[in-house]
Structure 1
Amino acid sequence: MRAEDKVILITGGNAGIGKATAAALAMQGSTLVLASRNAAKGEVVSRAIRSISGNDRVQFMPLDLASFESITRFAENFKSRFQRLDVLLNNAGLVASGKRTETKDGLETTIGVNHFGTFLLTGLLLDRLKAAGSSRIVTVSSRVHARGKLILDDLQLKEQFSAMKAYAQSKLANILFTYELARRLNGEGVTVNCLHPGMVRSSFYDRPSGLKAKLAFGMIKPFLIPVEKGAETSIFLAASPEVEGITGKYFVKCMETPSSPLSYDQELAQSLWEISEQMTGFTYPVR
């Protein structure tokens, strides 16, 4: 299919690697939907990308992944406008600033946004992905997933919260979800892959809190890569013919790479899937 005939949705497309990814894909001529919580910024970025790319099929739609109500409303709105979805790029994510907070639905914010929000959005749009005939789901994870552990009876980290622990388990959840969804969608024309973008010089690292965090940031800052470099693997998985038909894989620097041993635990993935359906109240149309 020609790039200009595709419909692509990018969450968190108004900043950082999401914005760089959106700009590159817009240059290819696809219909592009940027979804994020900040409506004012989203509209500004959409206009800028339309101007730079010459592609007038770039638009913004509001989406708050910390709210199941917002996700459901977004999906209904999207499906009223589009009959197909060729690429869903789950790019949006966050790391806690230090203090434990909760989403509107009472979930620890990091896993609530990074995993449960992504899980629900993907499920609600699955019919449009299937309708495309040959579509792709791409989720931005992190190599930090290797430090993650899932304590299934305390995914909300009410007992022992730390920002890094929350982030690492949410990124592990991204990969477990990717592999499990790929298994369940086998043969249905939808591929599912995930990636580590690299340590990117973006707003993600803008506000380290606490002395240890500031010292750590000072050490890693010289090694951070530009957002355009960090976006390369997302662009590759979203658009390259080289990965046509490849599913259930983890990529780093546009190369298929093994993820952590724990990420291949199918029993853990199935348990997380069941919990995710319970927490979101959404049952996937694949078993």
Structure 2
Amino acid sequence: MSDWNASHIPDQHGRVTVVTGANSGLGLVTATELARHGAHVVMAVRDTVAAERAAETIRRSAPRAEIEVRELDLASLTSVHAFAKDLAAAFPAIDLLVNNAGVVLLGPARTTADGFELQLGTNMLGHFALTGLLLGSLGRAEAARVVSLSSITHKNAHLDFDDLMSRRDFNASRAYGRSKLATTVFGLELDRRLRAAGSPIVSVVAHPGLSRSNLTPRAWEYRPRIGRIFARLGLLVTQSPERGALPQLFAATAPGVRGGQFFGPARLRETRGPVVEVRPSAEAADPSVGRRLWTAAQALTGVTYL
């Protein structure tokens, strides 16, 4: 596993794959590699104009790529429902769902269309609802996988079930860590529930270490000069999106991946390096936390499954 790279991705012909947030950063790398290896890739994105440009770039590098763009705003449950309904009608089965999209907020608190704290609502609750709504389509595939994108920040986070929306004493960085902890808990709890139900679907989790993406510059939009400084500093300590996407690509495609596994970089406290299996935090792996978050997510989103 330690020398694994995108050239090791098995043939993906005949597989329908959905990548959220696929128009830039880790999502674009993931969509590109899946398409290059033969998958029919659905780029599920909020900005369809940018995604169409990205899709053309992919087609130039892989002329036979089967790729399409569909609108999905994870910060709106209405959009999630519409996307899932249209996708299920278009494809009898879905082989892979990569819950990659995310938002980083470094400014004042913001909310989704449904009143959720923006980062929790987008990074975890939107994907929770999407996965549930697509579960039937995933179940009709021969060996479907769901990959949830975590972050090393989850290891220093703690979920406050009395204030999941971080309305008391809001801190953007802390709220982001909580959203990624919630995402990790979700991916692991989903695996438990799938196995308990006897489902062949595999749920795994991955994180990119410290990887360059478009998220941090966007987070600094309200203070662009500081954002540019942090972007330059980031070049010194981060790895490329191509390297950062390897853990989720491994989770999505490598033979022998088992439900409940967690993949990330091997070196410098999981900030960079080759892909290995890593450990989630104790809170992320706690089944009682998983059950509690699942109940809360169902109540908040209105999507009930497993």
> What is the TM-score normalised by the length of structure 1?
0.94
| Aligned-pair CA distance for 1:212 | 8.7
Q: Match of 1:167, SS?
A: helix
Q: Is 1:247 matched up with 2:247?
A: no
Alignment match, 2:206: 195
Query: Which of 292, 297, 305 pairs up with 1:271?
Result: 292
Does residue 35 of structure 1 match 2:47? no
Partner residue in 1 for 2:133: 124
Distance 2:227 2:174 in 1: 14
Match of 2:241 among 222, 227, 243: 227
Aligned counterparts, 1:100-179, within 5 A: 100-179=109-188
SS at match of 2:262: strand
Q: CA deviation at 1:56?
A: 4.1
Q: Which moved more, 1:47-56 or 1:113-122?
A: 47-56
Q: Is the 8 A contact 2:212 2:234 kept in 1?
A: no
Aligned residue in 2 for 1:281: 302
Alpha-carbon distance, 1:181 to partner: 0.7
Task: Measure the CA separation in 2 of the matches of 1:104 and 1:28.
Answer: 36
Cα deviation digits, residues 187-212 of structure 1 (max 9, x gap): 31111111111211221222546699
Query: Percent identical across equivalent pairs?
Result: 35
CA deviation digits over 1:94-132, x for unaligned, max 9? Answer: 111311011110111010001100100000000111100
Q: Aligned pair 1:184/2:196, yes or no?
A: no
Q: Which runs of 5+ in 2 are unaligned?
A: 1-9, 266-274
> How far 1:215 sits from its partner (Å)?
7.3
Distance 1:177 1:72 in 2: 19
Q: Which residue of 1 aligns with 2:7?
A: none
Alpha-carbon distance in structure 2 between the residues aligned to 1:277 and 1:98: 28
What displacement does 1:6 show? 0.4
CA distance in 2, matches of 1:270, 1:182: 12
Q: What is the deviation of 1:220? A: 4.3
CA contact (8 A) 2:110 2:118 kept: yes
Read off the aligned partner of 2:289 and give its amino acid letter. Answer: L
CA contact (8 A) 2:217 2:231 kept: no
| Separation in structure 2 between the aligned mates of residue 239 and residue 136 of structure 1, nearest angstrom | 9
* CA–CA distance in structure 2, aligned partners of residues 63 and 220 of structure 1: 29
TM norm structure 2: 0.88
What is the number of equivalent residue pairs in this alignment?
283
Counterpart of 1:193, as a letter, is V
Gaps of 5+ in 1: none
Amino acid at match of 2:262: Y
Q: Does 2:273 correspond to 1:256?
A: no
Query: Structure 1 runs of 4+ off > 3 angstroms?
Result: 207-221
Classify the secondary structure of the residue corresponding to 2:58.
helix
**Partner of 2:67 in structure 1?**
58
